[in-house]
A = this chain, B = another copy of it.
């Protein structure tokens, strides 16, 4: 296997920056990039080291051992070197020499001095190279030529700069002694990180990622590029097409640390309450939530479906005496929808548990769960929230305790008080839900609340009907900032009733026979809910579009990258 380093420059024309469909970028964008590239290539011929750990020029440099490019790391060595995490650098390190592996966020030469900004997730630190004991002029040149986003090993003394550094998260500065390139970035990034990090105005990304909207945005984007350079913004589509680079921005780093944190908080609370984790099959014989919107596939000659939720299986676990279960896993919906809040694959946080008497046992428990999550976010992820707010400004999320409970009828009344008509026998639509959110916030001062006792028409077949009025159900939705994040209910735990209801809903009963039969052998009353992880994150931070809360979002037009 030959060593590939240093070669990306050799055939630039073979590597245009491609979009999702393998097409190159627009002409103007490309032209600009090519000009930049030609300039850089010329520069590179003077500067860049070619061989393994060779200095930049052929003439001897007595300090050549202090810089260069590593050969490809293939586990050829176990050195005694100790790396220090960039994020851990503090006043305590001042005066000591540290070795850091990080990304080059920025490079700048000023006279005979070179400045590097190193980045590791949230953290940035400035490093500076003056010619002197450790550094030759050739080394300065080498440093100035390092491409942005390259990974380097940098050794330097931690110092306190004379002038405070405002552009980096760390107040300390590194006086460079050694710099080696670990992995060189291609010169041409799909976009600049600073452009992908600009503030998103409220409502700017609320629109669906549909064709027309995207074209308008991209046109604007190109015009911006040609004109005022400082206002360049990158459309969501371009960012998603080059998600790897987009995810390196501070807000995205923060969003996915937060997303991981929500799962952690969710599980902490459930473990502390005697829940166990389950893994239910995603390959199932019939649709779990009715026949529409289901992905079908061939399963060794038979037809199978991708689970639209773990609903049937988590209930079967309850019937198996696993009395409190949760699952975090993918949920598949073949919805041909391009809204700001729908995806074809998302992460479901599912709960199912035995109850003794009443679905309020579920609602109150889940209310406590959400309070635990919201308070945990505030406490543990302040830095992340700040980083998100920087690009996606949002009002702090307010959750009043105890969690507000409204019946569906009460919610309808509140709507009516505010001039909005809503039948108590039909489900809310999204627009009405948003309005309700505004009225609730105004009246009760909370961004989080529960609506319960939904009309039968609004709920699936497995929902238990109210005893006192069979036009309503023992069900509930939870809302954040006027958008639904959780649906749940007491379930039907009587096999005969379940079969009758499934038939009424037009479900082919034989495809769910195993599920229905599960209730024949003694069934605990039970219920649960399913929470959309990405919606929780999106709404907590008011991100405007659910794609911002999914690492690699899927919609009807997007399955790449």
User: Is the pair B247, A322 in contact by a Cβ cutoff of 8 Å?
Assistant: yes
User: Is the pair A279, B330 in contact by a Cβ cutoff of 8 Å?
Assistant: yes
User: Is the pair A78, B496 in contact by a Cβ cutoff of 8 Å?
Assistant: no
Q: How far is the CB of A538 from chain B (nearest CB, A)?
A: 14
User: Is the pair B497, A551 in contact by a Cβ cutoff of 8 Å?
Assistant: no
Q: How far is the CB of A261 from chain B (nearest CB, A)?
A: 8
CA distance A185 to B464 in the complex (A): 19
CA distance A321 to B85 in the complex (A): 13
User: Is the pair A183, B75 in contact by a Cβ cutoff of 8 Å?
Assistant: no
Contact of A75 among B245, B464, B524 (CB under 8 A): B464
* Residues from chain B with Cβ under 8 Å of A510 in the complex: 22
Q: Does A83 contact B (CB under 8 A)?
A: yes
- What interface size band does chain A fall in? 35 or more
A28-36, A157-165, A353-361, A399-407 - interface stretch: A353-361
Contact of A74 among B474, B524, B550 (CB under 8 A): B474
Contact of A244 among B83, B497, B521 (CB under 8 A): B521
CA distance A122 to B121 in the complex (A): 47
Contact of A186 among B297, B521, B556 (CB under 8 A): B521
Q: How far is the CB of A159 from chain B (nearest CB, A)?
A: 24
Q: Does A557 contact B (CB under 8 A)?
A: yes
User: Is the pair A521, B149 in contact by a Cβ cutoff of 8 Å?
Assistant: yes
* Residues from chain B with Cβ under 8 Å of A345 in the complex: 281-283
Within 8 A of B (CB), among A440-477: 464-468, 470, 474
User: Is the pair B75, A467 in contact by a Cβ cutoff of 8 Å?
Assistant: yes
* Residues from chain B with Cβ under 8 Å of A319 in the complex: 244
Known contacts A282-B345, A344-B283, A551-B279: does B517 contact A359 (CB below 8 Å)? no
* Residues from chain B with Cβ under 8 Å of A495 in the complex: 8
- Main SS of the interface on chain A? loop
* Residues from chain B with Cβ under 8 Å of A76 in the complex: 467-468
Mark A513-544 against chain B: 1 for CB-CB distance below 8 A, else 0. 11101101111110000000100000000000
User: Is the pair B189, A521 in contact by a Cβ cutoff of 8 Å?
Assistant: yes
User: Is the pair A81, B356 in contact by a Cβ cutoff of 8 Å?
Assistant: yes
User: Is the pair A283, B320 in contact by a Cβ cutoff of 8 Å?
Assistant: no
Which residue of chain B lies nearest to A519 when distances are taken between CB atoms in the complex? Answer: B183
User: Is the pair B277, A513 in contact by a Cβ cutoff of 8 Å?
Assistant: no
Which residue of chain B lies nearest to A525 when distances are taken between CB atoms in the complex? Answer: B73
* Residues from chain B with Cβ under 8 Å of A186 in the complex: 520-521
Known contacts A78-B360, A556-B300: does B313 contact A551 (CB below 8 Å)? yes
Q: How far is the CB of A106 from chain B (nearest CB, A)?
A: 13
Mark A297-323 against chain B: 1 for CB-CB distance below 8 A, else 0. 111101010100000010011011111
Nearest 4 CB-CB pairings of A with B: A514-B561, A247-B320, A185-B522, A260-B276
Q: List 22 A-B contacts (CB under 8 A).
A: A1-B465, A8-B495, A75-B357, A75-B360, A75-B474, A78-B360, A81-B356, A120-B323, A151-B524, A183-B493, A244-B514, A244-B521, A247-B321, A252-B320, A264-B267, A279-B330, A280-B551, A283-B332, A285-B560, A297-B306, A300-B334, A300-B557
Give me 18 other A-B pairs in contact (C-beta within 8 A), A77-B357, A252-B320 excluded: A74-B490, A75-B466, A120-B321, A183-B493, A183-B524, A184-B522, A186-B521, A243-B316, A245-B521, A259-B279, A260-B278, A264-B267, A280-B552, A281-B552, A295-B298, A297-B306, A299-B344, A313-B551
Listed in ascending order, the chain A residues whose CB lies under 8 Å from chain B are 1, 4-5, 7-8, 15, 18, 22, 72-79, 81, 83, 101, 103-104, 120-121, 147, 149-151, 182-186, 189, 243-245, 247-248, 252-253, 256-257, 259-260, 263-264, 267, 271, 276-285, 295-300, 302, 304, 306, 313, 316-317, 319-323, 328-330, 332, 334, 336, 344-345, 347, 356-360, 464-468, 470, 474, 490, 493-497, 510, 513-515, 517-518, 520-525, 533, 550-552, 554, 556-557, 559-561
